[in-house]
Amino acid sequence: MQSRTYFTVVIFLALTALTNSVAFAITPVFINEIHYDNVSTDQGEAIEIAGPAGTDLTGWSLVLYNGSSSSLAVYDTRVLNGILLDLGNGFGVQREDYPSNGIQNGAPDAIALVDVLGNVVQFLSYEGSFTALGGPADGLTSVDIGIAESSSTAVGSSLQLNGSGSVAEDFVWSASANHTFGAINTSQSFTGGTPQLILINELDADTAGSDTLEFVELFAAANTDLSGLVLVFYNGSSDTVYASFDLDGASTDAQGYYVLGNAAVANVDFVFPDNTLQNGADAVALYQGDAIDFPNGLSLVVSSSLLDAVVYDTGDADDIDLLVLLAAGEPQVDEDANGNKDFDALQRCPNGSGGAGQSSVFALFAPTPGRANLCQSALTLTPIYDVQGSDVASLLVGTTVTVEGVVTGDFQDGVNGSHGDLNGFFIQDEMGDDLATSSDGIFIFDGSSPAVDVNPGDRVRVTGTVNEFFGETQISAATVTTLSSGNALPVAVNVQLGANVSTRLNADGELIADLESFEGMRVSFGQSFSVAEIYNLDRFGEIRLVQGGRLFQFTNANAPDAAGFQAHLEDVARRSLMLDDGLIIQNPDPIRYPAPGLNTTNTVRIGDSVTDLIGNLRFSRGSGGRGDESYRLMPTAEPVFVATNTRPTIAPLSVGRLRVASINVLNFFNDLADGSGRCFPSNTSSDCRGASNPEEFARQLQKTSIEIGALGADIIGLVEIENDYPDAEASSIDDLVDALNAAATTTCAGGYDYVVPPGASRIGDDAIAVGLIYCTDTVSLTAGSTPAVLNDAALPALGLSGPVFNGVATNRAPLAVTFTEKASAESLTVVVNHFKSKGPSTLDDAGSTCGVDIDPATEPNCDQLDGQAFWNARRVAAATALSAWLETNPTGVNEADLLIIGDLNSYQHEDPHSLLANRGYSNLMQTLGAGDLSYTYVFDGQAGVLDYALANTSMLSQISAVGEWHINADEPDALDYNLDFGRSPAIFDSNVVYRASDHDPVMIGIDLQTSFNEIVGTRGRDILIGSNANDRISGGPGRDRITTLAGQDILVYSSVVDGGDTITDFEVGADRINLSAVLLSLGYSGIDALGDAYVAVISRGSSALVQVDPDGSAGAGRSRSFILLERVDAAALNNAANFIF
């Protein structure tokens, strides 16, 4: 923190308060009336305050004490506001009403009247006295008023002060009478309140700098006409006039004040030039008359027209000649008597007291032009930027400070917070210190049920203790005083994230953008942000945002590298910002974002954008101290999200005769985690995951089956299914398949079935397992094959050792199955995997921990800080064993086409993929997908691929397409099946696919190639007849007549001159027409020539005619007839599955 010299600003201590005592010589503001008990239910309970008209009670309080010997403590605090209005002879009252039984009934109890700085003005009790414990009256003994109410007191009565006078000591407490709350008591009269003459009430001649805050305040009855008066300034060096001001047409305001002063003076009514009022020894006098009667240079005038005068100096000797303006024996007053002339003013104390020429009532306190003199002592005001300092933590922690600033963010408790509820508010120094290293704003914690309800634009004074709460510099407020309202807010500081922002480590050792110099301030972010993470949106109401486009995992696009990974983390930190909902509560309902609240149809997705953010910046862990420790924006204007990343409505693939999918089913267990389940391996509910109760399971079952059905896949690999295969028809996978077959989205008419592992045993020894389901319409398990599971028992035969798939912190066992496509009679082997996760779980059965009792340099499974996280070596071991195992034809058939799917828990350029690539497996995301921009999962705000499709060389040539269906990873987890933490069930919709899991499904389109008899025509007209096997027939140029006979045949066309053929027996769904070479010669490289109108199918009687358009629907060219297919329904033929494009 930068060291600074504190400047002094006046705050106020009660002039009349005596230490450890409530016996005041003069108590001008006092408790005037009380009602606390009556017959039947207490009603109309109230306390009334009385004092001179114009007294500002803002920041004063009534503190109620329970006098029971077991308590002696505060039970209620009422913070006051308002100014006493003149109800007669210059005095006024203010009533404070309480709810029924809001004021306790005594034996004994007490009321403390406390001034703006917490000083006890009165401590009165009824039905006895006691010494207070805690609160502002701590250690003080109450003064019993000597009278009381009881349960027989009449409704509408009160205890009242009666008598005549002007201060509390002039009156006596009287027995119960009809209440007069809000009016002067029936037997009470005030005297001496309003000056009989117009008085000079306050004067400030010497101010800081070049004297731009000089003023003279006049005080009289409200709206007093000042016409016919003149204010005269006398120079003490010559005792002559140097300025005079006519007051014709002027009048005091509704509170009785009129201020003459410099332009910058608050509440000024008449402006005179800066540095006009001399510093002394000089005098100010008020006369009846006109300015023309008091020309400059006129000698001192003492006459009956003199109404009042003040003779003053700033450390100068008395001017004997000027003293004749005062009443006999009255002194010259020194504005520098406290050594604080720049910040003190001369004031009548109490306000308006004394008579004409009575200077002995003047005292030195902070200026209050146009307001009542509070007559309280000066304390030091600490600038907010000095509280914040230039370090992460304040150097004033534990210190009681008083600060002033404008409220920029209203986050008080409950309905008091117009921007949110953080149990406090933000204030900011309007001027600041112009240092880039220190903040000009700060958070004020005032807890639940705040004493003062602040609003944006209020200028407030706060006294409290500096503390660091979860790393945020705060002030815990003891007192809050509203000084003014409607002030302009400080201009929001525009913060730019990115390369120029420095970083720091938080308490968790994570890199974050270092925005400490803006903590507590009103800030704006003009940059466009992408939504990066919404995992905690439902728990803590927070969204992680990132500038410059969405984030991807380092190793999704880069080879593992420690230096590169560190640079990546720095970049992520510099670009990231946490958007908070501004609420202290966890699990909000409704969830704020997006406005007016999250639900299935009104959502925000990762990749969506938001701009023009404005609010207050704080450092916190978020709601309840449970979120990530970071700098958070508490918005003061509602963020507007733009659906940049729109929801996909249909599965991504429309090509490929055979479709394989890989899907994570998010811990799908029908044994519940509510204590009723008995889950493997412990046979207790402690190993049950997923749904916690029947309601959650029903939600999960329906949404998951809807999702899988919508994929339209023939073969589906499952990840995170319960490992309960021995339960057979009671197993989780059986329940899922039953629901899938009943789902509205399912298109497999014959129904899905699931693969039963060898011996109907479990797959591996983990609580979760992998699985495979398949559409019985389109595929079957290959004759002669057997599903196979890879366990550690198989490793020695492969020349390998474990643990890899069995034991603590190992990979889940893979399942390999060979399927035969019914349409082509061709086969492929699909193996579904779930490699070890990346978290820092224990490294062996002894529970050793990296960095504690294991050296990461000697244990490759520790995080090497290169982007691969923990357990990379174990995942490499799984990849090694998997590739070696597949070479042995584990399913018992010699199948060349191999497809690896599932969750490999490693991003695209990590070591397991390098190993598999070197062994002949291609990552289809790279070869056919979006490459480094592919993703199936979002972790820590960064997207990447964990769920894969890898094909060996033989399989690769038969892959038509691959795609991820982004229906899960980008969606809020608030939309999933869980009801944890009291989540509202209303935001869940089981009829839509979104957020069925936390991983996106992966789909692979495949066209298995078969062996063909090759039949080739001449360049003339041919009659070609196929065989009963699979034929590939190329007629060539000329109008050929082709009969295919049985089998699954392909008719190949290489050029536009090959058209004009007639096909006599084309079988829809079995035979296909290959137009890929024709379309390529026309410059078309798309995948759906029917949809793009390069190919069309029309009816020709009972036959179908295939037409080719050389430039598609967008061009001017005309379609030409290409092939006639006899006795073929055109509507049935008009499907991409009947063609090869």
3-state SS assignment for residue 110: strand
pLDDT score recorded for residue 171: 93
Confidence band for 594, pLDDT divided at 50, 70 and 90:
very high
Query: Which two structure tokens, joined as six digits, stand for 912?
Result: 């397991």
Q: Please work out, in degrees rounded to the nearest 5, the angle formed at the alpha carbon of residue 804 by the alpha carbons of 802 and 805.
A: 120
pLDDT score recorded for residue 117: 61
Confidence band for 66, pLDDT divided at 50, 70 and 90:
very high
Strands 400-411 and 529-533: unpaired
Going through 596-657 in order, the beta strands assigned E by DSSP cover 609-610, 613-620, 630-635, 641-642
What's the mean pLDDT in 34-51? 94
pLDDT score recorded for residue 741: 97
Strands 459-469 and 400-411: antiparallel
Choose from 113-117, 219-223, 1036-1040, 1110-1114 the range with maximum mean pLDDT: 1036-1040
Model confidence pLDDT, tens digit, residues 661-674:
999 999 999 999 78
Of the CA atoms within 13 Å of residue 669, those in its CB half-sphere come to 25
3-state SS assignment for residue 45: coil
Of the CA atoms within 13 Å of residue 59, those in its CB half-sphere come to 25
Q: Are 885 and 790 in contact (CB under 8 A)?
A: yes
| CA dist 923 → 761, 780, 817, 830, 939 (Å) | 31, 26, 20, 15, 21
Place of tokens 């201020």: 259
Query: Does the pLDDT of residue 93 top 90, yes or no?
Result: yes
Q: Cα-Cα-Cα-Cα dihedral of 692, 695, 700, 705, to 10°?
A: 140
Burial of residue 278, with CB atoms counted within 10 A of its CB: 0-12 exposed, 13-18 middle, 19 or more buried: buried
pLDDT score recorded for residue 27: 76
Q: Are 132 and 140 in contact (CB under 8 A)?
A: yes
Confidence band for 483, pLDDT divided at 50, 70 and 90:
confident
pLDDT score recorded for residue 854: 85
What's the mean pLDDT in 380-392? 91
What's the mean pLDDT in 459-481? 93
Residue 35 to residue 865: CA distance in whole angstroms: 72
What's the mean pLDDT in 128-152? 92
Distance in angstroms between the alpha carbons of the first and the last residue of the chain:
70
Residue 623 to residue 604: CA distance in whole angstroms: 20
Residue 159 to residue 45: CA distance in whole angstroms: 11
Confidence band for 1084, pLDDT divided at 50, 70 and 90:
confident
DSSP 430-490: SS----TTS-SEEEEE--SS-SS---TT-EEEEEEEEEEETTEEEEEEEEEEEEESSPPPP
pLDDT score recorded for residue 26: 56
SS (H, E, C) 1018-1038: CCCCCEEECCCCCEEEECCCC
pLDDT score recorded for residue 1085: 73
Domains, the chain, in order of start with CATH, read 30-190 (no CATH), 199-365 (no CATH), 384-489 (2.40.50.200), 494-642 (no CATH), 658-836+871-1006 (3.60.10.10), 1013-1138 (no CATH)
Give, to the nearest 10 degrees, the angle between helix 732-742 and helix 694-711: 60
| CA dist 267 → 245, 271, 335, 371, 529 (Å) | 18, 10, 21, 8, 45
pLDDT score recorded for residue 628: 82
Residue 714 to residue 710: CA distance in whole angstroms: 12
Residue 2 to residue 460: CA distance in whole angstroms: 25
As a whole number, the mean pLDDT across the chain is: 91
Residue 123 to residue 27: CA distance in whole angstroms: 12
Q: What 8-state DSSP symbol labels residue 7?
A: P
Confidence band for 658, pLDDT divided at 50, 70 and 90:
very high
Give the number of other CB atoms < 10 A from CB of residue 681: 12
Residue 403 to residue 433: CA distance in whole angstroms: 14
Query: Does the pLDDT of residue 570 top 90, yes or no?
Result: yes
> What share of the chain has pLDDT > 90, as a percent?
75
pLDDT score recorded for residue 146: 94
Q: Are 839 and 795 in contact (CB under 8 A)?
A: no
Query: Does the pLDDT of residue 649 top 50, yes or no?
Result: yes
Model confidence pLDDT, tens digit, residues 901-951:
999 999 999 999 999 999 999 999 999 999 999 999 999 999 999 999 999
Model confidence pLDDT, tens digit, residues 953-973:
999 989 999 999 999 999 999
Residue 561 to residue 867: CA distance in whole angstroms: 7
Of the CA atoms within 13 Å of residue 458, those in its CB half-sphere come to 18
Q: Please work out, in degrees rounded to the nearest 5, the angle formed at the alpha carbon of residue 764 by the alpha carbons of 794 and 792.
A: 25
What's the mean pLDDT in 253-271? 94
DSSP 724-779: -GGGGGGSHHHHHHHHHHH-TT---TT-EEEPPPGGG--SSSSSEEEEEEEETTTE
Q: Give φ, ψ of 741 to 5 degrees.
A: -70, -20
Choose from 3-12, 153-162, 205-214 the range with maximum mean pLDDT: 153-162
Query: Which two structure tokens, joined as six digits, stand for 444?
Result: 């004020």
Query: Does the pLDDT of residue 275 top 90, yes or no?
Result: yes
Higher pLDDT, 1020 or 22: 1020
Query: Which two structure tokens, joined as six digits, stand for 771?
Result: 């699985």
Confidence band for 1116, pLDDT divided at 50, 70 and 90:
confident
Query: Does the pLDDT of residue 25 top 60, yes or no?
Result: no
Nearest CA among 831, 833, 782 for reference residue 810: 833
What's the mean pLDDT in 1071-1095? 87
pLDDT score recorded for residue 124: 96
Q: Are 442 and 475 in contact (CB under 8 A)?
A: yes
pLDDT score recorded for residue 17: 29
pLDDT score recorded for residue 829: 98
Give the number of other CB atoms < 10 A from CB of residue 1071: 22
Is the dihedral angle over the CA atoms 794, 800, 806, 811 positive or is it negative?
negative
SS (H, E, C) 658-687: EEEEEEEEEEECCCCCCCCCCECCCCEHHH
pLDDT score recorded for residue 842: 67
pLDDT score recorded for residue 155: 93
Strands 827-834 and 898-903: parallel
Q: Are 107 and 129 in contact (CB under 8 A)?
A: no
pLDDT score recorded for residue 100: 92
Model confidence pLDDT, tens digit, residues 865-905:
999 999 999 999 999 999 999 999 999 999 999 999 999 99
Q: Are 460 and 481 in contact (CB under 8 A)?
A: yes
pLDDT score recorded for residue 4: 28
